[in-house]
């Protein structure tokens, strides 16, 4: 069992609700064990509706409130809203700089984000978030001459020890979420604007999804990740 007491975790999610869906049980488990969890929400989710009566700004406001409530359920310590427009993330200097800044500010032992290499079809925001987060971890946050102006703000280079990727086609680590599955569901359903199923039906679907990994760790339910260990 991983001892998470006192460890620092940075979660980088493309949209409000992605982290809850992919890693909510693990986030709740680790925060309950004493980890300090910071959530970075890259987009404001302002295109996440089929209701034509709502403006993008209305959707963004709703989704910020939902994300704030969900983070509280999971025991997240701090939420950072980068407020990029939904479906408009780019692998560029600005976005990478933002993630490097958060890494150097919060100095995580572990980064959790989405696997960018999903096969065949994937949301572009998911791909860009995962790719830029990994690049920010290595080498940009590590090297003092990368974004060197941050040194003037006291943001020294930082070496992340581990990365956990949810949504991977090749998971190799499985986290028992038997005791935190309820919090995962509660947090996900804080995002009520995104839920098409009743909570009971959605919970059953999630239980079926994560039950296929439980046996890996002698549990009923587990969340799968690709784990990357970085050299120090």
CB 176, CB 214: distance < 8 Å: yes
Residue 144: what pLDDT? 96
Percent with pLDDT over 90 in the chain: 94
Task: Categorise residue 75: left if φ over 0, alpha if ψ from -120 to 50, beta otherwise.
Answer: left
CA-to-CA distance for 104 and 181, rounded, in angstroms? Answer: 31
Reported pTM: 0.96
* Pick from 211, 16, 222, 14: nearest CA to 113: 14
Q: What is the mean pLDDT of residues 143-171?
A: 96
Q: Cα-flanking dihedrals φ and ψ of residue 164, to 5°?
A: -115, 125
Residue 129: what pLDDT? 98
Q: Cα-flanking dihedrals φ and ψ of residue 72, to 5°?
A: -65, -40
pLDDT bin (cut points 50, 70, 90) of residue 232 is low
């Amino acid at each position: 069992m991983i001892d998470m007491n006192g460890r620092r975790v940075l979660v980088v999610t493309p949209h409000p609700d992605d982290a809850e869906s992919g890693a909510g049980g693990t986030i709740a488990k680790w925060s309950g064990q004493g980890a300090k969890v910071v959530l970075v929400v890259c987009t404001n989710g302002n295109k996440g509706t089929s209701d034509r009566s709502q403006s993008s700004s209305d959707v963004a406001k709703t989704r910020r409130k939902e994300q704030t409530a969900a983070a509280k359920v999971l025991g997240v310590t701090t939420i950072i809203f980068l407020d990029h427009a939904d479906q408009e993330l780019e692998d560029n200097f600005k976005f990478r700089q933002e993630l490097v800044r958060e890494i150097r500010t919060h100095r995580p032992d572990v980064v959790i984000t989405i696997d960018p290499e999903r096969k065949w079809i994937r949301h572009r925001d998911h791909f860009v978030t995962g790719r830029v987060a990994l690049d920010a971890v290595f080498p940009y946050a590590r090297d003092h001459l990368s974004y060197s102006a941050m040194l003037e703000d006291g943001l020294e280079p930082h070496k992340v020890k581990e990365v956990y990727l949810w949504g991977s086609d090749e998971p190799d680590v499985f986290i028992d979420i038997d005791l935190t599955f309820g919090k995962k569901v509660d947090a996900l359903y804080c995002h009520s604007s995104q839920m098409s199923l009743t909570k009971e039906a959605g919970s059953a679907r999630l239980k079926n999804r994560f039950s296929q990994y439980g046996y890996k760790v002698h549990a009923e339910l587990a969340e799968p990740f690709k784990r990357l260990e970085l050299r120090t």
